[in-house]
């Protein structure tokens, strides 16, 4: 299943007009890595993910979770 991250990267790449091959070369990551990222692979090297995101002007950062929402099954009903 594709994650928000994988969809974001694929959309950003396409908006910049790059093929996967071109984008991987410009960013400095392997084509296999980029394909896995865009396909939503769950375990990827964070430094390389950040390298891709940096190229498109984005970054990963922690998001605080509401522990009460998690205990209600992940739904924030407030």
Distance CA 19, CA 60 (A): 23
Residues 6+ apart with CB under 8 A from 44: 33, 36, 37
- HEC states along 22-71? HHHHHHCCCHHHHHHHHCCCCCCCHHHHHHHHHHCCCCCCCCCCCHHHHH
Query: Domain locations in the chain?
Result: 4-55
* Percent of the chain whose predicted confidence (pLDDT) is above 70: 86
Would the pLDDT of 1 be above 80?
A: no
Q: What is the mean pLDDT of the chain?
A: 89
pLDDT in tens, 14-29: 999 999 999 999 999 9
As a CATH number, domain 4-55 is 1.10.260.40
Would the pLDDT of 51 be above 80?
A: yes
How does residue 2 score in pLDDT terms, banded at 50, 70 and 90? confident
């Amino acid at each position: 299943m594709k994650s928000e991250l994988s969809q974001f990267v694929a959309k950003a790449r396409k908006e910049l007009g790059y093929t996967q091959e071109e984008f991987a070369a410009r960013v400095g990551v392997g084509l296999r890595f980029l394909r896995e990222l865009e396909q939503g692979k769950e375990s990827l090297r964070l430094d390389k993910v950040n390298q891709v995101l940096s190229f498109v002007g984005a970054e990963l950062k922690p998001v605080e979770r509401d522990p009460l929402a998690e205990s209600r099954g992940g739904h924030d009903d407030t």
